[in-house]
Amino acid sequence: MSAPALEMPTYGARSRRALRDLVRAESGKTFSGHAWWVLLSVMGAVDLVIALFATDGGLATYEADILGYGGGFAALLGALCVTAEYGHRTIVTSYLIAADRPTLTVAKMVLAALVGAGYAVVCALLIVLGMVLRGNHPLAELASVLEVSGAAMVVFALWAVLGVAVGTLVRSSVVAILAVLMYQWIAEPLLVLLVDFLDNQSDPDAITQYLPTRSASAALSRLGGGTSSGNAFEIVQPWWVMLLVFTGWVALASAAGIIRAQRRDIT
């Protein structure tokens, strides 16, 4: 039997209502579990500790650098929003209730994006708190701090959407968690080292800064007044260009996830 044709959802008034209902239902599933607050607690604690022991420097710059590492937690949340349903077999009921699979996947992405943005707000507040306790004065850099915090909401929301896409593609919670962590902390750094080794006659940062993790971190770092995201690489492009690059990666992954959800056999 051939795979069903992919039907992308159209959002008229009725479709928007259906999407809102699905997002509301997804929020009930997400907040009834423990994963969302466990991930937030761990990420918030790590950010607070780093801020407390950060070396002297601009508050906005350090906020951007610290937040640059936190997107993976939002991605883990997004992945678990999907894989938990496959693990408990509730995905079958969800697909039966939803108008179509793409709409359900989009609803999961919307909910994950909202929670991811909330993660950014909490973590930004904890980072500022940590640095204030060290003697920094946020009012002196209030505009920059607010800019970085606002951009972090967008970056974390995109990370969460990327996590949903990964979870939709792989189905397994363990595989999704390993995929997110291993790519962010192992695969991409190794790729950067490989490019650096093979292209040592030119500037490898001109290429590797467009990778997903680096582009997301670079957007925040550049906006915070830094030239690197704590990884000792130079950022050539403006912050908004790096944000668009990361958005492009998320869009590609999201399209692949929606297609995979539409064609997957869940029986």
The pLDDT of residue 15 is: 73
Which residue, among 66, 43, 217, 53, has the nearest Cα to 136 in the 3D structure?
53
Q: What is the pLDDT of residues 208-259, one digit of tens each?
A: 889 999 999 888 887 776 544 444 456 778 889 999 999 999 999 999 999 9
> Degrees (nearest 5) of the Cα angle 10, 11, 14?
115
Residues 70, 155 contacting (CB under 8 angstroms):
no
The pLDDT of residue 6 is: 54
> Rounded distance, CA 145 to CA 62, Å?
10
Half-sphere exposure of 180 (CA within 13 A, CB side): 29
The pLDDT of residue 9 is: 54
Q: What is the pLDDT of residues 93-109, one digit of tens each?
A: 888 887 788 889 999 99
Q: Which one is predicted more confidently, 160 or 19?
A: 160
pTM: 0.88
